[in-house]
Chains A and B, each alone.
Chain A
């Protein structure tokens, strides 16, 4: 499986992905094997069904939303680059990267981008605000069935109230960042991709 998969991935592609995402060479080839094993249709791209075949993801309360996050706006297929771009958000932040290249723009795994990724899980309609309904939907998925609607509503109200500084009864991205300022997001949202 290893050698056949990597032969479909060209060296230039690997270099580009490396520059864009910051993954190392071996990490990229390993993740490509994974991509390939998920790709049952063997067409070089993953569809939603391919993701849904992962058993543990099916029982994850936020499974659908996570899958959605891989697919760019309005598309049904994601290629390897898109796959890696999404995964790049979860790379651990390393100290020696911080001073690398200020002109290259913010790396995908910066704190801001990590938080933006999480924010987009709530904000389905992409209006840069988490409305009460969007929050309720996510809460319902996470908390389960044995809570009444009013109680869930009060929890949602309280969540918005704690974050809302401009009184629009929605959570904007900056308010979201403020709420999570005490949480160690860089550590929480990182996976150790094996070298």
Chain B
């Protein structure tokens, strides 16, 4: 329904083939292709009313009421005047229309903004800045770096060699890695020659508009030559140009015909589980309505047959009995329509909107650092937040800040990094107030680097040789690239943020890495520039777990510098280091205990002959045809031995604030957290431990990293058998799934003890196959913690879908990057971490905020309240409407099933709109069982929501039964009290009008009392609403029954005087009191009884709150100190490092460094890794911290390499 505009244009005519001639607007316009202006809005001021009404009446509830309205104008059926339906309907339509109008205005605004973007268009040989909306098919436009692609273009030429361009396609497919497109040589040769471009008259013949992003076919005819075109030549709207100065393109598809627009709107419309339950209930209600009406119609038939026919003298009847029963059926459909909740949907929307605003307004979910408040981007999912069972979290940027900081180090047996209080000798906790080390002596220092231990900088200044060696190693042994745009402004591009952190640390302590060339590394040691000859890089891989460089210093001395995992290095140390090793090991244990990642540094002096001989062998090996790897490994092993230990570094992978506490809280709320990360297994495990997802006390942590389906299956099965030896085998499950269409819901299996599961992407790919997914799910669900590492965005979504498919549970996905988009869209609730650069996750999320820790407030406070409120609302709403309606049912047995209403028509109209609307709205906007602190203090309060205990089919049935009871009381007490009696002046007191008034007074009072009983949080507003509504009832009742209104329209206000004559009777008030009490008494007794015998967690907490007058003190979370024996290692790259690229000479197309004598040749797509690993910043987050797994950056490399052949 949202693509009205698009549909119209698309259906204009079936385009078979598209013909375009460049630079020929006249020719192209003969085909009437769409222009580049887009229209996502649905209405304009004139079409709004008819279109909107048309749409609204497509909704079943509204259509139903329209149908009722038509019934009501048929006199034979009409049991209620038309206005009883029209007023609520008009109100509902108005509210919805207002909301739609606001939405559409926003769409208009964004359309206008997009349409008015500027782009350079080549017109008559000149570049003219035009609005996007004026761009036409066949135009040639010029794009510049970082610009959005205006329309679907045929790439003509670019600034880069080989006519390459780089684009980011995040908006299209969510992938942030750059993609390469290449122009045809024939067009590319035109370059930026405007004359040539203006004279270009190529003709394109291509496929009609479609939505396939990965396919394009067409031909270009130019100079009588035909060239075939494919996807490689086409730039799609929605992409962004990157790393390319400029490019020219020919517009192929514009505006609504672009592939982006043809694809849009696929975003799935999320509904909450309550919505789905409501759909079932509404069907049930319709069934109930039909049943009641059939019963009453049959009753009418019988009555007419037995009594009515004899009553003809008084009440003549024209129809025969069957027809009369038929009419009665419809009459009762009208009267009993209030069981179908028309205003329910609108009220639910209002409540959700209100509760969404609370999220936006919450100061406790506001992040001051980035000035971002939390935002509920979808206002229709609130109560689902109170039912989350599974959280799928991204790691980088979500749990961690993706910031590595050099925290501590151990140099020659001395540990640096801790701040020791001079007086007490105790370690001081590092906070922001603490005095930082002043690096002003170093003009090249990175101002964002923070360090608190002054002794280290003293040591550097004292020129301790060990300390110098330590930092020299850090400055030399790495594969970081330096970029120095301005003198003294260094920017490092590192393969992994860890490396960046180490090099930056060295930089700040006076060993500044400035530049590198294939043969040299230039560093500035304490202000003196020195150039080291780089002889070899012995690179990282995940087997070696170490990296070495061999350099010759300016003095000509040869050294090998090595850094690596402690266990690996320790095996290769010179025996003389034993003593130092012991001390360093102690330090390493200490570092690891704090969850820091450690590296050990060592060096070795080499002598010239040995090295040249080694070098020779190395050269031979590296060109060997067979067993090259093995030979090289052997050589590396040979040279990396008998090294001298220098020390160790400790790097902190900074968690977001409060991650561990949040996870702990959520675990208490029985929410399961699965971490899905593209990161390496070691990193993921480390983070698992440091945010206490994995704990050392766990009985076991299963690690599944197999490379074949059988092994994966076996590992999963073994894990399950270990957790629960008597678990059933899966055989019985699989056939059922094949047979039945609806997948079986897999129940949780109970496990004793805590287990964790780590599974990597390879294994996950096998495990997600349909024949093994149950195996995975069952095993994973038995574990307390699941970590999936090295997973692709698609796999993230698959995991979420898997849980959604087999578990009757609500899932939430939280992430911050484009690779999380699929998962965010797949989960019931998607949460985006905002305040960072990449906005894709936020844009596709339902809720967004800046910090992971806000999640606990979102779920435990807002989610729980929203769920509670919504459920209370629904229960009460059904109660009040059913009670109201069922009275008619009972009355039917006493009025000859004639569809006579019990109440006054005015009351029927106003009951839902005025008398009972606000109190229940007040309840569902303000109610809280316990305040937010207690909600956070006792996360167990969240559990009832996960089990859907507050509103379910059972709860609904209870409501219906309760209503049934209440309606019986409401009818029969006034019945008995007025039966055959008179007023206190002897006059008539049991007439229809008095009876109606008594019953409706009883009803209003009863539902108000019931509301008061349900309401646990009486704010001023609630008092106002409840008492105001009661007051309103009496006020309006008296008003409607006044003489004046009666004189105005005697037939509409026929109840004149009833209120005065009736409500002055003590009898009436006694009846009202009795009715209200009788309705409420069983409820109170039952609630009290169950709170005594089976107190729920809510009962207990509320009782506790009640006893403690003071609010609970906010729990002070002490810094989490883990006594861990687990050594947290450095995370090594799975892929090979950049080492060979560094020495290969090929990569350095970016010269950049003046000092090394390279001459700049302009920007080129040289070494610029854009992956997650590259974006590195010591503390700030300026650089794009996102988000790509390493291979992609290498792929980019290869693209560059290949292209240069």
Q: Do A and B bind each other?
A: no
Q: Please list the residues of chain A having a beta carbon within 8 angstroms of any beta carbon in chain B.
A: none
